[in-house]
Structure 1
Amino acid sequence: MILICSSLASAVALIEVALFSFLGNLVDWLNNADRATFWEVHSTRLIIMSVLVLVVLPILKFWYEAVVHQGLIGNFAMRIRWLAHRYVLRQSVDFFQNDFAGRIATKVMQAALGTRDTVMKITEVLVYVGVYFTGAVVMFAASDWRLAVPLVLWFLGYLLVMRHFVPLLGQMSKAQADARSMVTGRIVDSYTNISTVKLFAHADREDLYARDGLRHMLDTVYNSLRTTTRMTVALNVLNALLLFSTGALTIWLWTLDAVTTGALAFTVGLVLRMQGMAHWILWEVAGLFEDIGTVQDGIETIARDRTLVDIPDAAPLIVTKGEIKFEDIGFNYGKSTEGEQRAVVDNLSLTIAPGEKVGLVGRSGAGKSTLVNLLLRFYDLRHGRILIDGQDISRVTQESLREQIGMVTQDTSLLHRSVKDNIAYGQPDASLEQIIEAAKRAHADEFIPHLVDPKGRRSYDAHVGERGVKLSGGQRQRVAIARVLLKNAPILILDEATSALDSEIEAAIQESLYSLMEGKSVIAVAHRLSTIAAMDRLVVMDKGRIVEEGTHDELLRKGGLYADLWRRQSGGFLAREAAE
């Protein structure tokens, strides 16, 4: 497709240069021809040029525009966006936690457009102009070699102007693209956390936060515009010198009878045409370098090497029993563990038998959630292994690993899609009947039939808003539980799964969760200890290590950290009842 564009652009450029040469010849013919025999002598050449102007040139331009607009402009950018999104989507969780989501999305969009425009400008400008300029020099020299001298000198000056200004514009474009994506990131961050902004009455503060970014972006725009002005002035001087020198030289050669009147018309006409093109060329080349700057800025983010990848020929995880083993694992979020500083997870070993229900307990920062994230392979270990049914999770595909694990988190995030789509995310090919059944088991059917979104969509077709903001915390949690119920994975992780529910709904859903746990290996993380007291085994963590293990009653009798945490809970009276 790009080769076709280049060929068509070259053909159009050659014909346009030939038309200026024909104009010079026509002036000579009119000066020297006998009016009575003019058509008889020149009719063939006039007919040929007429066909070129009326038929060939429009057809070539039609096909050029058709290929560019129907084949390249839309498809090229969309494919690049899809490929960039596909790559970014498989980056690690850490990649997204260290940047604005809006900033990343902006860079994906900008880089795609920049890449498309870069290719298009190279195809259109360099090919078209290269052929145009070469043809002009050849035809000038055909009249008299001295006519080509001003054009060559102008071109050298033109190259010097581009060499000086265009790289500067490229650097400024890169800075401008980064500033633009930063501003977008700040604005999207405010919109995403609008509840927090409203809660703390900080609209003015967010205004200043965005305004500071806009001011920085405006500085980059001013720098670019000042450079553009200087570049335009330099080009205007070069163009004036070219027109004057070509016109003066042609008249002088005409006085020496070295060139004809037609040559004067041809050279001056073509110079005037190239003057108009010169501005377009310079802007296009400047735009080319600006696009390159934008692409470079985007590439620095979206094409960053993935830090978490599958090994070559990684096999899919096959879960037959559900045994989970943590073997002497260590992890520390990239921080140093020298001196007194201890790792977040420090030489931890733990085995969860097939079908066993284990509760993870500990103070905040003890490493419970980190242990869950490591099992999901959101991060790679510093040392040790995690095995599921004897298979090292670092040697299986990430997709297959997470397909075998169902998880309900405390901070439930739903997709800005319909309720049906959110529940079916656990099993995309599920029927509507299966989706409704999962919703009933999660007690979500109590509110779903009454949902209506701003576009009038109802019940399971109603959209839930960004991150599920149209639903209450408890409603979001029940949809999330329905999603995991439908997924029905052999390994289940519950991270404060019922924390957003009121006591009545929690009691009802606990029954569903207990039925869901049947035959599954379960890891439950909870600060509210009463929710996991009935687990087969409780594992107490502190400072990245396991400090206690046992059942609820056994740990209470030990009088250690778990017993202390139990006494401190608002439901401490339960501890007294258990002790009695």
Structure 2
Amino acid sequence: MLTRWLQPLFRYFESRIGPYPEGDVATPPKGLFPFIWHFSRPVWPWLLVMSLLTALVSAAEVVFFRYMGEQVDWLGNVERANFWAEHGAWLMGVGAAVLVGLPLLVLVQSLVTHQSIFGNYPMIGRWLSHRHMLSQSLAFYQDEFAGRVSQKVMQTALAIRETVTKVMDLMVYAIVYFTGAAFLLAQADPWLTLPLAIWLVGYLGIMRFFVPRLRDVSMAQADARAQMTGRVVDSYSNIQTIKLFADTRRELDYAKGAMQGFMATVHRQMRLVTVLSVCLTLLNTLLLVGMAAMAITTWYVDTISLGVLAIAIALVMRVRFMSDWILWEVAGLFENIGTVQDGMNTIAQAPTVSDAPNARALSVPRGEIHFEALRFGYPQAVGEYKTVFDGLDLTIAPNEKVGLIGRSGAGKSTLANLLLRFYDIQGGRITIDGQNIAEVSQTSLRHQIGMVTQDTSLLHRSLRDNIRYGSPDASDEDVWNAVRRAHADTFINDLVDTKGRRGLDAHVGERGVKLSGGQRQRIAIARVLLKNAPILVLDEATSALDSEVEAAIQEQLETLMEGKTVIAIAHRLSTIAMLDRLIVVDEGRIVESGTHQALLAKGGIYARLWQRQSGGFIGLDVTADRPNV
């Protein structure tokens, strides 16, 4: 009944803060306080309200102690015979005010804290961090564990909330309470503040010694936890490889190494905890004994009343219990600060590839692609690059179908990645219909390019969602049309996942592991068929298919390529021999270019590769066939 009555209040306060801020995606700043403020801007007015209400609750508790002390003195002097007749109504009124006023104050404070702030605040951090992580460059994820990144996004957002609320809630409560208690005792007798002052010095000394050490070990523990999670997730993500090589022991040792590193930080932390507990108990015991001795002495010499003695002992007992709580909260505060700093090192990295200011949308009326004096190398150490292209020039005419040929590492896939602007080039430029791709938005660029890769990765969602990923507004009829053209209808209707979902509704597992390589490839082809972009990149698009299915799909790909500019990469030359132009790339340079027949007549690298292949694949060792260029 009470919960139902409070539902409107819950809903009102839960909706005061929007957990999913919109606007441009910005890289969080790297300083601790600017980083925290970046995620706290939408919440700060409510944080101030929370602090004010916390101060009122703390002050009310101190006032209540004072009132109880006065009651002790008053009850010691009042006549019992007429007590209820003279004072009953007033006492009941005060009691009713306390019973109603304090719970209402706590209710409002709790609604602001728990309904408005606690749920929405960390979600703002997760949402903004996730948006930023999705805008990160491809190179960022090639150097990171996905599990490690996701954990830092999750735990950093929570640590930001804990850091800020501890400062603005706990600290306000403690400061108001201790200040009020000291003032109350000083009013009665200044000597009563002496044990409290000595205790405070000792308490601050304990904090100064232990808190930084707890902070350091907490930072190490956060990093060790992320490393441990990353290794475990890496094992689960590559479970097929682990099973294939039957090397569970090595994988266990790999995870155990990270777990042992984490346990080392746990042991360091728990040793500090034990010593801290003993020191704090000793200090609190000294406070209790000292305050009792001082209060009894001042009462004995008749400088304070019995009520003040009762207040002093009650306040000290309360301080004794609070000190434990406050110290651990402060230690937790620095632990969370350590977690925030650790997460900041990952989250506050600017993307290496970013849109230019006021980047316009790419328009592709024709589809001409021009690589001009292209220079690019993959970053190695700081300031060092492994050169792939050094001055490459290539023009692909509108609607021209070009095949790229070369040994592994020659730069074929790199050229496709640069066209998609997964990396920024170090020199030259790439244009589409005269528009420099560095000056258009990445989103609009990739909307205009359809790509099928050799290593097809599907999302752990339904087949329908995977196929419709590049065309969210496509109808089911359009989806099925793409499925049939990709020859994926032969297996889709037979798919059933663990929850009984069938056909297009079946989920495919992480990275599409529930499908065979050929099935994943056909789904990827269906996805690109549905996207119908004016520029098409095929990077070993049929490599995972058997010959019969490949021959059937080849006809659909030829239909798909009509009216499009196409770049096709293949080791199996028979799949690209019919294209308008074939380009042989070696060590980042174009060494041959022409039609299939022209290159055969030339008798160069392509002709030797064609003869050697006989329906097979290009070998890795073509050194003897390289021209002296």
How does the TM-score come out when normalised to structure 1?
0.96
Aligned to 2:142, which of 88, 97, 103? 97
The one-letter code sitting in structure 2 at the alignment partner of 1:150 is: P
Structure 1 segments (4+ residues) deviating >3 Å: 37-45, 335-339
**How far does the alpha carbon of each residue in 1:494-523 deviate from its partner, in whole angstroms, 9 at most, with x for none?**
000000011111011011100110110000
* Equivalence for 1:407: 451
**Alpha-carbon distance in 2 for matches of 1:57, 1:286:** 29
The alpha carbon displacement at 1:78 in A equals 1.7
Preserved contact between residue 345 and residue 370 of structure 1 (Cα < 8 Å): no
Aligned to 2:571, which of 527, 536, 543? 527
* Equivalence for 1:260: 305
The 5 A counterparts of 1:126-137 are 126-137=171-182
* Equivalence for 1:180: 225
Aligned to 1:367, which of 397, 408, 411? 411
* Equivalence for 1:551: 595
* Equivalence for 1:578: none
The one-letter code sitting in structure 2 at the alignment partner of 1:130 is: I
Q: Taking every aligned residue pair, what percent have the same amino acid on both sides?
A: 59
Aligned to 1:475, which of 505, 519, 527? 519
The alpha carbon displacement at 1:568 in A equals 2.3
* Equivalence for 2:106: 61
Range with bigger deviation, 249-258 or 347-356: 249-258
Preserved contact between residue 453 and residue 462 of structure 1 (Cα < 8 Å): yes
The one-letter code sitting in structure 2 at the alignment partner of 1:380 is: D
Aligned to 2:288, which of 243, 246, 266? 243
The 5 A counterparts of 1:366-405 are 366-405=410-449
**Alpha-carbon distance in 2 for matches of 1:66, 1:197:** 50
**Alpha-carbon distance in 2 for matches of 1:175, 1:373:** 37
**Alpha-carbon distance in 2 for matches of 1:112, 1:40:** 59
The one-letter code sitting in structure 1 at the alignment partner of 2:530 is: L
- Secondary structure at the aligned position of 1:119 is classed as helix
The number of equivalent residue pairs is: 573
The one-letter code sitting in structure 2 at the alignment partner of 1:141 is: A
The alpha carbon displacement at 1:572 in A equals 7.1
**How far does the alpha carbon of each residue in 1:454-473 deviate from its partner, in whole angstroms, 9 at most, with x for none?**
10000110011111111111
The alpha carbon displacement at 1:51 in A equals 2.6
Residues 266, 40 of structure 1: alpha-carbon distance in 2 compared, 3 angstrom cutoff: farther
The one-letter code sitting in structure 2 at the alignment partner of 1:568 is: R
* Equivalence for 2:187: 142
* Equivalence for 1:161: 206
* Equivalence for 2:554: 510
Aligned to 1:280, which of 325, 332, 354? 325
Residues 131, 44 of structure 1: alpha-carbon distance in 2 compared, 3 angstrom cutoff: farther
- Secondary structure at the aligned position of 2:356 is classed as coil
**How far does the alpha carbon of each residue in 1:47-97 deviate from its partner, in whole angstroms, 9 at most, with x for none?**
454134311111112222222222222111222111111111110000001
The 5 A counterparts of 1:36-115 are 36-39=81-84, 42-43=87-88, 46-115=91-160
* Equivalence for 2:621: none
**How far does the alpha carbon of each residue in 1:157-206 deviate from its partner, in whole angstroms, 9 at most, with x for none?**
21221122112111111111111111111111111111110010011211
**Alpha-carbon distance in 2 for matches of 1:336, 1:255:** 77
**Alpha-carbon distance in 2 for matches of 1:45, 1:151:** 34
Aligned to 2:354, which of 309, 321, 330? 309
**Alpha-carbon distance in 1 for matches of 2:326, 2:587:** 64
Unaligned runs of 5+ in 1: 575-580
Residues 217, 476 of structure 1: alpha-carbon distance in 2 compared, 3 angstrom cutoff: same
Preserved contact between residue 176 and residue 220 of structure 1 (Cα < 8 Å): yes
Range with bigger deviation, 536-545 or 76-85: 76-85
**Alpha-carbon distance in 2 for matches of 1:208, 1:433:** 50
The one-letter code sitting in structure 2 at the alignment partner of 1:564 is: R
Unaligned runs of 5+ in 2: 1-45, 619-629
**Alpha-carbon distance in 1 for matches of 2:617, 2:514:** 37
The 5 A counterparts of 1:5-20 are 5-20=50-65
The alpha carbon displacement at 1:337 in A equals 12
2:617 is the alignment partner of 1:561: no
- Secondary structure at the aligned position of 2:293 is classed as helix
The one-letter code sitting in structure 2 at the alignment partner of 1:19 is: F
**How far does the alpha carbon of each residue in 1:398-442 deviate from its partner, in whole angstroms, 9 at most, with x for none?**
000000000000010000000100000020011111111110111
**Alpha-carbon distance in 2 for matches of 1:108, 1:338:** 29
**How far does the alpha carbon of each residue in 1:257-279 deviate from its partner, in whole angstroms, 9 at most, with x for none?**
11111111000011001100110
* Equivalence for 2:35: none
The alpha carbon displacement at 1:540 in A equals 0.7
**How far does the alpha carbon of each residue in 1:346-381 deviate from its partner, in whole angstroms, 9 at most, with x for none?**
210100000000000111110111111111000000
- Secondary structure at the aligned position of 1:524 is classed as strand
Preserved contact between residue 337 and residue 343 of structure 1 (Cα < 8 Å): no
**Alpha-carbon distance in 1 for matches of 2:416, 2:304:** 86
- Secondary structure at the aligned position of 1:355 is classed as coil
* Equivalence for 1:203: 248
**How far does the alpha carbon of each residue in 1:111-156 deviate from its partner, in whole angstroms, 9 at most, with x for none?**
1111111122122211111111111011011111111122122222
- Secondary structure at the aligned position of 2:414 is classed as helix
The 5 A counterparts of 1:484-503 are 484-503=528-547
The alpha carbon displacement at 1:304 in A equals 1.2
The 5 A counterparts of 1:226-237 are 226-237=271-282
The one-letter code sitting in structure 2 at the alignment partner of 1:345 is: F
2:71 is the alignment partner of 1:26: yes
* Equivalence for 2:396: 352
The 5 A counterparts of 1:295-334 are 295-334=340-379
- Secondary structure at the aligned position of 2:335 is classed as helix
Aligned to 2:615, which of 557, 560, 571? 571
Preserved contact between residue 379 and residue 386 of structure 2 (Cα < 8 Å): no
**Alpha-carbon distance in 2 for matches of 1:161, 1:219:** 24
How does the TM-score come out when normalised to structure 2?
0.89
- Secondary structure at the aligned position of 2:274 is classed as helix
Residues 106, 572 of structure 1: alpha-carbon distance in 2 compared, 3 angstrom cutoff: closer
